[in-house]
A and B are shown apart, each in its own frame.
Chain A
Amino acid sequence: MNKIRCALIGSGNIGTDLIYKIQRSAVLEPVWMVGIDPESEGLSRARSMGLKTTAEGVDGLLPYVKADNIQIAFDATSAYVHAENSRKLNELGVMMIDLTPAAIGPLCVPPVNLAEHADKVEMNVNMISCAGQATIPIVFAVTRVQSVAYGEIVASLSSKSIGPGTRANLDEFTYTTSNAIKMVGKARTGKALAIINPAEPPMLMRNTIYCLTDEEPDQARITESILKMITEVQKYVPGYRLVNGPIFDGNKVSVFMEVAGLGDYLPRYAGNLDIMTAAATRTAEMFAEEILAGNIQLKSVEVAL
């Protein structure tokens, strides 16, 4: 069966973990890895796994896009360079899966709104943040039962799993995730909190989701909706697990979750990174299936600057 050929931009933890996930896919094939440091461990690992590499950034990839028939690119760099990467690749008809907090394209949480994006043939979709991927399915599981005035999520992340980019730009993470609780989770207002915990051995990613419902919560229906949503997420993140709850205090619904990673490249405690790469891969697979079936055609996009 044909596979859609992919480029990975950013040779850090996320980019490297993506190689493993994409290599397992029935419809995706990792072909290029783009970095900026010729000495980086990520680029040498990519070469040893059979990928072509460049240390010249996205400009080093552009001359090969047509010849190598690259149709989907994953950007795991930073919010600051993503817009330029996306512009250059969209011009050549390459679709972008954005794993930075740039969020210039529509926000995507696979079990919530992936199908909508396929219908529209988006050329750039954003994966929000690890906390967004881990918590917004639960917020949506409540809002699909009854309206939620306010959704709040708390993500606890092990110190070892948080790279320098996220650390130096924590506000972007906060803003992007808070916005997605509204836009995708469908709570009227949203707030995201992040805590970085240095405990050894590293703790698994933990997420707490709070929702304030407008009316008294329908406990049975909300509980059922949450448990069903968890099984949806578990299809691509097997380590996504309910630890406690839901519990109800007045109109407050609280759910306590844990995410263990698959341990592909990143250790199991880094469930936060794993849920990003797994969600991005699942998103790309859905587009790839549509492309292979002839249902959608990617077009080059001229972006006015």
Chain B
Amino acid sequence: MSQELAGSKIIIHDMTLRDGMHAKREQMSIEQMVTIATALDEAGVPYLQVTHGAGLGGNSLQHGFALHSNEEYLSAVVPKLKQAKVSVLLIPGLGTMKELQSAYDCGARSVHVATHSTEADTSPQHIAFARKLGMDTSGFLMMSHLNTPEGLAKQGKLMESYGAQTVYITDSAGYMLPADVKARVSALRATLKPETEIGFHGHHNMAMGISNSLAAIEEGATRIDASVAGLGAGAGNTPLEVFVAVCERMGIVTGCDLFRLMDLAEDYIVPLMEHMVRVDRASLTLGYAGVYSTFLLHAKRASERFGIPTRDILIELGRKKMIGGQEDMIVDTTMTMAKERGLLKDVTL
């Protein structure tokens, strides 16, 4: 298998400064952003994403307020880079075209336009607008485990028809196993135009980040999202430096400098983690139950406040089929569970 991949070229898209914001409760300083971004740039990483964890429009009571606006982060990072392009995340229903224009004005030149894996038709305005701005435009199908390979192929085809140049299979819950990824990527590859790229964005909740990314490449994916030391929601993203090391051994070309990335991970990223981003009881529950990775820290806070174990909350959210963006339903669900367990009472007039 590795022999047929030798020589293939993969575009690495760093998520440390976007998905990593979730793991930092959106509290990353401008200085930290610039330090990490310039190190990634020097290590040859071609794309890096910079925004609030929930993307454009993310600053909210629902998703938390970052230390700075997206415009402030972008304006600080973009001028410091020699080769890397900066991307943003845009989830329609949260972010708008006005915010995309504003991000473009601050130097963003690539965008992940993200919808739930069955709702691609909420993205035509935003994808078309990104193309009109001349941005490198990806459609990003979140929670891909909740749609079938055939269903995802249809959704990907819609995004392609709106103008997406890349379509991503996004394992937001870190639920998928390599066979799940292969079936989905190959269904997309069979349906999309040959010039449309396929991307894979993994979460490491079942420790499948690397294996799943390789499975995606075997079926024709050419873009892989990853973050240094895995800094990201849940048990983190596919760990970038590990992935680059594996690629080197397999002869897959990433153009990234492994040792610089290892140093960045060890000397800078790990020390600034507020909690160890790793597979543990709660993050494994996300992967096992198929729950949106960003729910992790919200569920832990709700657990402390209302006295319901985090695992119970996450399992219930999975059962209720809550999806990305429904962070309000974490406190709501926990309160309902607390009432059922006699820990909380209803208000009355």
Q: Which residues of A line the B interface, CB within 8 A?
A: 150, 152, 154, 156, 159, 164, 167-171, 174-175, 191, 193-199, 203, 206, 208, 210, 212, 223-224, 227-228, 242-247, 252, 254, 256
Additional 14 contacts, C-beta under 8 A, given A171-B125, A212-B61, A254-B61: A152-B61, A154-B328, A167-B119, A171-B92, A171-B96, A174-B93, A193-B60, A195-B323, A203-B321, A206-B329, A227-B347, A247-B335, A252-B61, A254-B328
Interface centre among B92, B322, B328, B335 (most CB of A within 10 A): B328
Using an 8 Å CB-CB cutoff, how does the interface string of B314-328 with A read, 1 for contact, 0 for none?
000000111111101
Is B196 part of the contact surface with A, judged by Cβ < 8 Å? no
- CA–CA, A167 and B119, complex, Å: 9
Closest to B331 in A: A254
- CA–CA, A245 and B338, complex, Å: 12
Near A by CB (< 8 A), chain B positions 114-136 give 116, 118-119, 121-122, 124-126
Is B332 part of the contact surface with A, judged by Cβ < 8 Å? yes
Q: Which residues of B line the A interface, CB within 8 A?
A: 57, 60-62, 92-94, 96-98, 116, 118-119, 121-122, 124-126, 146, 320-326, 328-329, 331-332, 335-336, 347-349
A-B contact pairs, 12 of them (CB 8 A): A156-B326, A156-B328, A170-B93, A170-B122, A171-B92, A171-B98, A193-B62, A193-B325, A196-B119, A199-B320, A243-B332, A243-B336
Interface SS of A by simple majority:
strand
Question: B328 — which chain A residues lie within 8 A by C-beta?
Answer: 154, 156, 208, 254, 256
Given contacts A171-B92, A174-B93, A227-B349, contact A154 B62 (CB under 8 A): yes
Question: B124 — which chain A residues lie within 8 A by C-beta?
Answer: 168
Question: B325 — which chain A residues lie within 8 A by C-beta?
Answer: 154, 193, 195
B119 in complex: contacting residue of A159, A228, A243, CB < 8 Å: A159
- CA–CA, A227 and B346, complex, Å: 12
Question: A208 — which chain B residues lie within 8 A by C-beta?
Answer: 62, 328-329, 332
Question: A191 — which chain B residues lie within 8 A by C-beta?
Answer: 57, 60
- CA–CA, A210 and B60, complex, Å: 10
Question: B347 — which chain A residues lie within 8 A by C-beta?
Answer: 223, 227, 242, 245-246
Given contacts A152-B61, A256-B335, contact A167 B121 (CB under 8 A): yes
Closest to B96 in A: A171
A164 in complex: contacting residue of B121, B125, B322, CB < 8 Å: B121
Question: B332 — which chain A residues lie within 8 A by C-beta?
Answer: 206, 208, 243-244, 256
Whether A197 contacts B323 by the Cβ 8 Å rule is yes
- CA–CA, A52 and B326, complex, Å: 43
Whether A244 contacts B125 by the Cβ 8 Å rule is no
Question: A164 — which chain B residues lie within 8 A by C-beta?
Answer: 121
Whether B60 contacts A168 by the Cβ 8 Å rule is no
A193 in complex: contacting residue of B94, B97, B116, CB < 8 Å: B94
Whether B93 contacts A156 by the Cβ 8 Å rule is no
Least distance between A46 CB and chain B CB atoms (Å): 27
Whether B119 contacts A168 by the Cβ 8 Å rule is no
- CA–CA, A212 and B61, complex, Å: 9
Question: A246 — which chain B residues lie within 8 A by C-beta?
Answer: 347
Question: A198 — which chain B residues lie within 8 A by C-beta?
Answer: 116, 118-119, 146, 323
- CA–CA, A212 and B60, complex, Å: 11
- CA–CA, A246 and B97, complex, Å: 33
- CA–CA, A227 and B348, complex, Å: 8
Least distance between B11 CB and chain A CB atoms (Å): 29
Given contacts A171-B125, A254-B331, A256-B332, contact A197 B60 (CB under 8 A): no
Question: B121 — which chain A residues lie within 8 A by C-beta?
Answer: 164, 167-168
Least distance between A208 CB and chain B CB atoms (Å): 4
B118 in complex: contacting residue of A159, A212, A227, A242, CB < 8 Å: A159
Whether A196 contacts B96 by the Cβ 8 Å rule is no
B61 in complex: contacting residue of A195, A210, A227, A228, CB < 8 Å: A210
Given contacts A168-B121, A210-B62, contact A197 B335 (CB under 8 A): no
- CA–CA, A206 and B321, complex, Å: 14
Least distance between B115 CB and chain A CB atoms (Å): 8
Question: A254 — which chain B residues lie within 8 A by C-beta?
Answer: 61, 328, 331
- CA–CA, A28 and B325, complex, Å: 40
Least distance between B79 CB and chain A CB atoms (Å): 29
The 10 closest A-B pairs by CB, nearest first: A199-B321, A208-B328, A194-B93, A244-B335, A195-B325, A210-B61, A256-B332, A198-B118, A171-B96, A170-B92
Closest to B143 in A: A198
Question: B61 — which chain A residues lie within 8 A by C-beta?
Answer: 150, 152, 210, 212, 252, 254
Least distance between B96 CB and chain A CB atoms (Å): 5
- CA–CA, A35 and B237, complex, Å: 49
Least distance between B254 CB and chain A CB atoms (Å): 35
Whether A197 contacts B62 by the Cβ 8 Å rule is no
Question: A174 — which chain B residues lie within 8 A by C-beta?
Answer: 93, 96
Question: A195 — which chain B residues lie within 8 A by C-beta?
Answer: 93, 323-326
Question: B93 — which chain A residues lie within 8 A by C-beta?
Answer: 170, 174, 193-196
Least distance between A220 CB and chain B CB atoms (Å): 10
A152 in complex: contacting residue of B62, B92, B349, CB < 8 Å: B62
Whether A156 contacts B60 by the Cβ 8 Å rule is no
Closest to B93 in A: A194
